[in-house]
Amino acid sequence: MRALAAAIGLLLAWEGFVRWTGVPAFLMPSPLRVWNALVTRWDILVGHAGTTLTEILLGLLFGALLGIATALLLSSWRGGRRWLLPLLIASQAVPVFAIAPLLTLWLGFGLASKITMSTIIIFFPVATAFYDGLRRTEPGWLDLATTMGASRGAMLWRVRVPAALPGLASGLRVAAAVAPIGAVVGEWVGASSGLGYVMLQANGRSQTDVMFAALAILATMAMALWFATDLLLRRMLPWQPDALLDSDGEPT
């Protein structure tokens, strides 16, 4: 409720600002104008939104899988850690903006280059958060498992991985928040559909209201994605400390 009130307040302030200062619409369209653009161009926008959403979701899926696999490999293969860790850092040291044109060149204007970009952005927070979780297992649990005669595999899958799931969950939350970046950057560099493409075209034609409309859809999708991910993760890990804290603090 409070969030809704804040959003309405912000929109009112924006509308008031535009009317009061008389800023030209190609610089700053009023919320009503953006709403109009959203309604009149809805049939076009919704198709582009579908493209972007597909890229984001597939990027999230591949990025999460790649991140999980990397973390497991790093934690269980001592020798590989020295080789993989620098590579992991290097993959993030190079800005995705810088390699976006290359990926478009190699993988084409279609979905593949955007999904690859999303994957590169998403896999890092997932891998680091999960890897940290895997390294920080309560030592007492490992001692206990050792005295119980657990094999290495059982120790990993029945103790260390479950114990690291809250860490993985926070990595996935970050991933859900940054997932749209890769897709939109990819669309800016070269695409024939998607919200990023719409924004670029609208910008070129000074259709700022359409640009804002696309932005509004993108922001709504990104927020919905984050809240859905958060809700899903809470449902799946009812035992994790922050979920417990919530249920203690206020009835949900």
Partner 1 sequence: MAPGLGIVLPVIRLGGRPVLGACDLHFAAGQVTALLGPSGVGKSTLLRLLAGLMPLPAGARVMPEDGQPLAGRVAWMGQQDLLLPWLDLRGNIGLGARLRGEAVDKARADSLIAAVGLTGRDTARPSELSGGMRQRAALARTLMEDRPFVLMDEPFSAVDAPTRHRLQSLAAGLLAGRTVLLVTHDPLEALRMAHRILVLRPGAEGAVAEDLPLPASLPLRAVTDPDVLAAQAALLDRLAEAA
**Least distance from partner 1 to the Cβ atom of residue 141, Å:** 6
Give the long-range contacts of residues 238-241, CB within 8 A, separation 24 or more: 240/165, 240/166, 240/169, 241/166
Q: Does 73 bind partner 1 (CB under 8 A)?
A: no
Q: Does 239 bind partner 1 (CB under 8 A)?
A: yes
Among 46, 102, 146, 224, binds partner 1 (CB under 8 A): 146
Phi then psi dihedrals of residue 123, to 5 deg: -65, -25
Angle at CA 99, nearest 5°, toward 173 and 54? 45
**Least distance from partner 1 to the Cβ atom of residue 241, Å:** 8
Q: Does 141 bind partner 1 (CB under 8 A)?
A: yes
- Minimum CB distance to partner 1 smaller for 84 or for 156: 156
Number of separate helices (H) and strands (E) present in the chain: 12, 0
**d(Cα 157, Cα 23) in Å, to the nearest integer?**
60
Neighbouring residues of 65: CB distance < 8 A, sequence distance ≥ 6: none
Among 10, 13, 94, 144, binds partner 1 (CB under 8 A): 144
Q: Which stretch binds partner 1 (CB under 8 A): 45-53, 55-63, 85-93, 142-150?
A: 142-150
Number of residues that bind partner 1 (CB under 8 A): 24
What residues make contact with partner 1 under the rule CB under 8 A? 138, 140-141, 143-151, 154-155, 158-159, 162-163, 165, 237-240, 244
